[in-house]
Amino acid sequence: MPTLIDNRPPEPETRTAVSAAARAKGKGDAKGGLYKPREPIYPKLVHGKWRNVKWALLIITLGIYYITPWIRWHRPDGFPQQAALVDFTGRRFYFFDIQLWPQEVYIFTGLLVMSALALFLVTALFGRLWCGYACPQTVWTDLYIVVERLFEGDRNARMRLDAAPLSFDKIWRKTGKHLTWLAIAFGTGGAWIFYFHDAPTLIRTFWTGDAPVTAYVSCFLLTCTTYIFAGWMREQVCTYMCPWPRIQGAMLDHHSLQVTYLGYRGEPRAPHKKGLSWEGRGDCVDCRQCVVVCPMGIDIRDGAQLECINCGLCVDACDDIMTKMGRPTGLIAYDSEAAVSHRGSGQKARYFPVRSRTIYYALALTIVSGLTLWSLLARPDADLHVIRDRNPVFVRMHDGAVRDGYTLKIGNRTFVPQRFDVSFEGVPGARLSHPGGEGQHVSIVVPADQVVPLRVFVTAPPNAELDASVPARFVIRSGDVQAEAKTVFLSGAANPQ
């Protein structure tokens, strides 16, 4: 993040006071020790445009997460009827009409590269939107705060409760909160395992003790991590543990949109009494609403900082205050550093979404998505791999004919058995043979959704005029299911026996 540009207000009085106080508190706690406890953050509920977007995304993302494994999908008998399934034992991945085999792991790689590039592009354009809106850590923390508010009330009530001595009221509120958190955590861990097994079966066997050990272990681990990460650690995950903020910093430049406090407009800040003039002062009334709503516990008026996840809650809070004050909204806004400093110095400012880095990211994203999509669509329903014998590379027969040996791995991706007709192209008159078959073509039955190895010998007719190495290919066909693989036929013409 370009934090080296310091557009903090020049007069740091309040700031010094605040941080000195915070420091005193920290030191006080660390007396005699080197360790500092987490300073609790009590984000206040805010209403507004960005909060609504966050609600919507919360519902959508959690909805997708919980519902997906329950979507049924018709496949022939013996195959899973679940739309999204990672089948480790069968070594298949099912996603609606797409079925992936282990060797197609590159499609996942493509997806991961696409996600990374999309993240780069979005970040270069709009800052850390992923962090603020879509990251599971943010979403679950948000959900946990809803529960917290339900039991303990909003910011002030929570602070009062924490400071109050132990009482029946405090105990039941705290217990209720933690139990609900644990229930959500368990639901999260529970939902995860449904992606790896048939969901309706698993939900039964889970309670009867017949589910695989991995299901219990995964469920337990995810329950723990959800509860600890979203309940206890919260912003500390983003600030101390997560690598994304560090990486994303490299995507941002002065033209990226980020949640920014328009210092030139807000300063000098001071409380404002109704009816007084706004002449000679800034729009910020120092109400600190932007600070109290921030889930990261920072003051955005200090400028861009590592902790800010670009969630826009401070924007909503400040817009609300500005409206009440009768001042234009947008004192805190999604804005670019360049635009802010231009406007600050009285120039016209524009937003530049098209910049060299966004062009590169978009280009790379288009190429990778194109390639991934193409490799997914161009994938045949049959799978053919050819391994040539290396020792011997060829064998001379009694009549002078030359024979090469190959091992074919024939995969049938369809859900019905296929009788594949195997042919060899490139050497005129070549004959194929394998234990149990011989001719210009040989055939082999491959059961549904399986790979079968086939040893094939290809014999070139005696006296065939062949180069030492002849480019050739194997073709397998069964109705309109077909695949081919390139190989070579070595004849040893250059060094006769």
Partner 1 sequence: MAHERETDHATGVETTGHEWDGIKELDNPLPRWWLWVWYACIAFSIGYWVAMPAWPGLHSYTKGMLHQSDRANVGKELSALELQRGQGAAMLRTASLEQIEKDPKLQAYAQQVGQSVFGDNCATCHGIGGTGGKGYANLRDDVWLWGGKLEDIQYTITHGIRTGAEGARMSQMPAFGRDELLKPEQIDDLTEYVVKLSNRPADAGAVARAAPIYETQCVACHGVDGKGNQELGAPNLTDADWLYGSDRASIRGQIYAGNGGVMPTWGGRLSPETIKALAVYIHSNAGGQ
Chain positions contacting ligand SF4, by CB under 6 A: 259, 261, 266, 269, 284-290, 293-294, 296, 298, 300-301, 308-314, 317-318, 321, 331-332
In the complex, minimum distance from the CB of residue 10 to ligand SF4, in angstroms, rounded to a whole number: 17
Contact partner at residue 463 from ligand SF4, partner 1, none, CB < 5 to 8 Å by partner kind: none
In the complex, minimum distance from the CB of residue 57 to partner 1, in angstroms, rounded to a whole number: 29
Q: Pick from 389, 421, 473, 475 the residue near partner 1 by CB under 8 A.
A: 389
Q: How far is CA 472 from CA 73, 203, 442, 488, 492, in A?
A: 41, 52, 17, 5, 15
- Count CA within 13 A, CB hemisphere, residue 129: 16
In the complex, minimum distance from the CB of residue 390 to partner 1, in angstroms, rounded to a whole number: 8
End-to-end Cα separation, the chain, in angstroms: 70
Strand 437-439, strand 402-412: pairing: unpaired
Closer to ligand SF4 by Cβ: residue 119 or 309: 309
Contact partner at residue 238 from ligand SF4, partner 1, none, CB < 5 to 8 Å by partner kind: none
**Residue 399 interacts with partner 1 (CB under 8 A): yes or no:** yes
Report whether 78 contacts 156 (CB < 8 A): no
Report whether 272 contacts 287 (CB < 8 A): no
- SS3 of 475, please? strand
Closer to ligand SF4 by Cβ: residue 46 or 113: 46
Report whether 458 contacts 489 (CB < 8 A): yes
Site for partner 1 in 450-479 (CB under 8 A): 453, 455, 457
Sign of the alpha-carbon torsion through 475, 476, 480, 483: negative
In the complex, minimum distance from the CB of residue 241 to partner 1, in angstroms, rounded to a whole number: 10
Place of tokens 């600190």: 288
Contact partner at residue 480 from ligand SF4, partner 1, none, CB < 5 to 8 Å by partner kind: none
In the complex, minimum distance from the CB of residue 236 to partner 1, in angstroms, rounded to a whole number: 7
Would residue 52 be called left, alpha or beta, if left means φ above 0 and alpha means ψ between -120 and 50 degrees? alpha
**Residue 290, exposed/middle/buried by CB under 10 A (0-12, 13-18, 19+)?**
buried
Phi, psi of 62 (to 5 degrees): -65, -40
Strand 431-434, strand 481-490: pairing: unpaired
Site for partner 1 in 50-89 (CB under 8 A): none
Q: With CB under 8 A as the contact rule, which of the stretches 21-29, 80-88, 125-133, 335-343 interacts with partner 1?
A: 21-29
- SS3 of 484, please? strand
Q: Pick from 398, 465, 480, 494 the residue near partner 1 by CB under 8 A.
A: 398
Q: Pick from 397, 417, 447, 468 the residue near partner 1 by CB under 8 A.
A: 397
**Residue 25 interacts with partner 1 (CB under 8 A): yes or no:** no
In the complex, minimum distance from the CB of residue 434 to partner 1, in angstroms, rounded to a whole number: 8
Site for partner 1 in 36-55 (CB under 8 A): 36-38
Helix segments in 250-355, DSSP class H: 263-266, 289-292, 313-325, 337-344
CA distance 482 to 422: 10
Whether the bond between 69 and the residue before it is cis, its omega within 30 degrees of 0, is no
Contact partner at residue 298 from ligand SF4, partner 1, none, CB < 5 to 8 Å by partner kind: ligand SF4
Report whether 142 contacts 231 (CB < 8 A): no
In the complex, minimum distance from the CB of residue 87 to partner 1, in angstroms, rounded to a whole number: 23
**Residue 33 interacts with partner 1 (CB under 8 A): yes or no:** yes
**Strand segments (E) across 164-308:** 257-261
Q: Pick from 63, 392, 429, 447 the residue near partner 1 by CB under 8 A.
A: 392
Contact partner at residue 311 from partner 1, ligand SF4, none, CB < 5 to 8 Å by partner kind: ligand SF4
Closer to ligand SF4 by Cβ: residue 12 or 76: 12
Q: How far is CA 136 from CA 91, 232, 316, in A?
A: 27, 15, 22
Specify the DSSP element, H or E, that contains 249.
Answer: helix 244-249
Q: How many residues are there in the chain? A: 497
**Residue 26 interacts with partner 1 (CB under 8 A): yes or no:** yes
Per-residue binding letters, 278-307, with partner 1 (x by CB under 8 A): ------------------------------
Q: Tell me, what DSSP letter sits at residue 335?
A: E
**Residue 391 interacts with partner 1 (CB under 8 A): yes or no:** yes
The CB density around residue 35, as the number of other CB atoms within 10 Å, is: 6
Closer to ligand SF4 by Cβ: residue 131 or 402: 131
Per-residue binding letters, 104-123, with partner 1 (x by CB under 8 A): --------------------
Closer to partner 1 by Cβ: residue 129 or 476: 476
Cα angle 240, 244, 250 (rounded to 5 degrees) comes to 115
Q: Pick from 119, 184, 215, 233 the residue near partner 1 by CB under 8 A.
A: 233
CA distance 448 to 435: 22
Per-residue binding letters, 411-440, with partner 1 (x by CB under 8 A): ----------------------x-x-----
Q: Pick from 357, 388, 396, 473 the residue near partner 1 by CB under 8 A.
A: 396
Residue ranges binding partner 1 (CB under 8 A): 16, 19-20, 23, 26-27, 30, 33-38, 233, 236, 240, 389-392, 395-400, 403, 405, 433, 435, 453, 455, 457, 497
